[in-house]
């Protein structure tokens, strides 16, 4: 057990706690944090309350666990945007967009949405503007559905129950049971799809960017208007997306 008397190590304990929360594939309980970090129970509760107050942690939908808060997620996004691999990732996106001929993007899960970390627009005059930093819904986007499918089924169900399944386009899935069924299919294929579900006239396909353990770090997607790319054509780009996703994963190491 670690000594809690050294005030100078407080910042390290905070980082260790946040690391435990980020490593979990579900919301971390206080007991999870105690066991994984070796921190005393009183220290865990004190630090968790501090991080909750400051926005670096938040309670999960059931109120029994902790997950990354809005402030911590913004900090992580800034770090990823500024680290040395940024140029490499952008070059990968540029090559991918040039080959496919349509816009490609990297997105990260952020609370109840996906946020664009990077993006390269196609050269076509007709294109959908969703700049870096934009938030898009989970339930009706290729990247969002792919992220949802990566969650343990029980957590996925709880999150979907809390999401506003608002219709965005003609094919948006607004029924929770139907969405769960679609996510089961995506969980097996590892391919997220959007067949005019988010924006009328737009289709998309997404693949996961994973770490060495297979945990989803981000998503890589391409999208375009149906007047240029059919849904079937979007899905046909998956092998090239998967190849690029492996290259992007290496840039995060």
Q: What is the pLDDT of residues 109-145, one digit of tens each?
A: 887 899 888 999 998 877 677 777 788 999 999 999 9
Angle between helices 30-37 and 41-54 (to 10 degrees): 120
Pairwise pLDDT comparison (82 vs 2), residue with the higher score: 82
| CA–CA dist 110, 116 (Å, integer) | 10
Average pLDDT, the chain: 88
Mapping DSSP to helix (H, G, I), strand (E, B) and coil, where does residue 187 land? helix
- What pLDDT score does 134 carry? 84
- Asked if 183 and 148 count as a contact pair (C-beta separation under 8 A), the reply is yes
Domain annotation for the chain: domains and CATH numbers: 7-68 (1.10.10.10), 81-251 (3.30.450.40)
pLDDT at 82 over 80: no
According to DSSP, residue 123 is labeled: S
- What pLDDT score does 95 carry? 97
pLDDT at 1 over 70: no
Pick from 116-120, 154-158, 244-248 the range whose average pLDDT is largest. 244-248
- What pLDDT score does 237 carry? 98
pLDDT at 219 over 90: yes
- Asked if 71 and 32 count as a contact pair (C-beta separation under 8 A), the reply is no
According to DSSP, residue 7 is labeled: G
| CA–CA dist 99, 81 (Å, integer) | 24
| Cβ-based neighbour number of residue 25 at 10 Å | 12
Residue in the structure block whose two tokens are 């949405």: 113
- Asked if 129 and 122 count as a contact pair (C-beta separation under 8 A), the reply is no
Distance (Å) of CA 198 to CA 17, 81, 106, 148, 152 = 37, 26, 17, 15, 24
Q: In the structure encoding, which two tokens stand for residue 233, read together?
A: 């054509």
- CB within 8 A of 4, min separation 6: which ones? 13, 39, 40, 42, 43
């Amino acid at each position: 057990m670690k000594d809690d008397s050294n005030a100078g190590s407080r910042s390290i304990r905070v980082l260790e706690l946040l690391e435990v929360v980020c490593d979990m594939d579900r919301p971390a309980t206080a007991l999870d944090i105690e066991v994984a970090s070796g921190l005393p129970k009183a220290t865990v509760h004190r630090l968790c309350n501090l991080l909750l107050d400051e926005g670096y942690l938040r309670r999960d939908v059931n109120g029994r666990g902790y997950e990354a808060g809005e402030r911590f997620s913004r900090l992580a996004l800034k770090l990823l945007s500024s680290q040395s691999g940024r140029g490499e990732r952008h070059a990968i996106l540029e090559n991918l967009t040039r080959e496919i001929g349509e816009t490609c993007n990297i997105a990260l899960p952020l609370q109840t949405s996906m946020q664009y970390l990077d993006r390269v627009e196609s050269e076509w005059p007709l294109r959908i503007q969703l700049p870096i930093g934009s938030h898009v819904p989970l339930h009706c986007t290729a990247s969002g559905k792919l992220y949802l499918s990566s969650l343990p089924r029980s957590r996925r169900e709880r999150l979907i129950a809390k999401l506003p399944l608002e219709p965005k386009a003609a094919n948006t899935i607004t029924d929770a049971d139907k969405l769960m069924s679609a996510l089961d299919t995506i969980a097996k294929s590892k391919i997220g799809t959007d067949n005019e579900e988010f924006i009328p006239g737009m289709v998309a396909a997404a693949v996961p960017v994973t770490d060495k353990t297979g945990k989803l770090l981000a998503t890589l997607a391409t999208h375009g208007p149906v007047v240029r790319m059919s849904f079937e054509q979007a899905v046909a780009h998956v092998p090239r997306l998967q190849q690029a996703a492996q290259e992007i994963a290496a840039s995060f190491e």
